[in-house]
């Protein structure tokens, strides 16, 4: 099943987790660490506290604004895309806007990986999201796989799949951090 189809079929929790996972993998560009989005992940696991998402989101935005100068860079366009993902996150994770946000985060994250990929993939990301991955650069293809895994795990396991989704996101964050570090060393 393509990523576009998985997003179309996902429930609210899976959509919120999908958008959050995309943001989580790219948060090093804003100076965020491995714990920056942890409270939001915890909120996804707690059905009784869905309303607390908005407050946690505002706290997270504040933390990331205060550490933006420490961001790992990697290209102004990539940083702008991450900021847009964070700014567009809906205050209510049960709102209809969460599907739009998850879809936009998917596209933005793939574009960020394309911008940072040393293979210089200049193709659009939409064909890959629809299942046509031929010619996709390795970094973008890996990000696409992570997005698919997150949605498949949550579709199959519900809240029980959140731990695996977080593991996939953590792995992707480390990969992106390494790519950005290599690029920075190459410019020095």
Give the closest residue to 27 by CA, choosing from 76, 99, 101, 81.
81
Prediction pTM value: 0.89
Q: How many Å from the N-terminal Cα to the C-terminal Cα in the chain?
A: 43
Residue 75 has pLDDT above 70, yes or no: no
Residue 120: per-residue pLDDT = 62
H-assigned helices in 117-161: 126-129, 138-157
Answer with the residue of higher pLDDT: 48 or 80: 80
Residue 53 three-state SS:
helix
Q: Band the pLDDT of 49: cuts 50, 70, 90.
A: confident
- At 69, the pLDDT band (50, 70, 90 cuts) reads low
Q: What is the pLDDT of residues 129-174, one digit of tens each?
A: 776 666 788 889 899 999 999 999 999 998 899 999 999 999 999 9
- Sign of the torsion angle spanned by Cα atoms 9, 15, 19, 20: negative
| pLDDT at residue 17 tops 70 | yes
pLDDT at 121 over 70: no
As to burial, measured by CB atoms within 10 angstroms (0-12 exposed, 13-18 middle, 19+ buried), residue 100 is: middle
Check residue 136 and give its pLDDT. 80
Compute the average pLDDT of residues 107-132: 78
3-state class of 166 per DSSP? helix
pLDDT band at residue 65 using 50, 70 and 90 as cut-offs: confident
Domain that holds residue 127: 3-187
Is 20 a residue whose pLDDT tops 80?
A: yes
Question: What total number of domains does the chain contain?
Answer: 1
pLDDT tens for 90-111 read: 999 988 899 999 999 999 999 9
């Amino acid at each position: 099943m393509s990523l576009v189809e998985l997003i179309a079929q996902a429930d609210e929790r899976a959509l919120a987790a999908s958008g959050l996972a995309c943001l989580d993998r790219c948060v090093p560009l804003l100076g965020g660490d491995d714990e920056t989005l942890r409270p939001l992940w915890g909120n996804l696991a707690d059905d009784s506290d869905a309303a607390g998402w908005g407050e946690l989101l505002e706290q997270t935005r504040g933390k990331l604004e205060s550490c933006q100068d420490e961001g790992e860079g990697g290209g102004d366009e990539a940083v702008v895309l991450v900021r847009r993902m964070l700014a567009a996150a809906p205050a209510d994770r049960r709102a209809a806007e969460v599907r739009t946000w998850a879809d936009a985060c998917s596209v933005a994250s793939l574009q960020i990986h394309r911008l940072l990929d040393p293979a210089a993939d200049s193709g659009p990301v939409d064909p890959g999201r629809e299942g046509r991955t031929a010619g996709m650069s390795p970094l973008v293809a890996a990000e696409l796989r992570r997005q698919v895994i997150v949605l498949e795990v949550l579709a199959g396991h519900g809240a029980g799949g959140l731990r695996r989704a977080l593991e996939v996101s953590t792995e992707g964050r480390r990969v992106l951090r390494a790519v950005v570090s290599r690029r920075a060393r190459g410019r020095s």
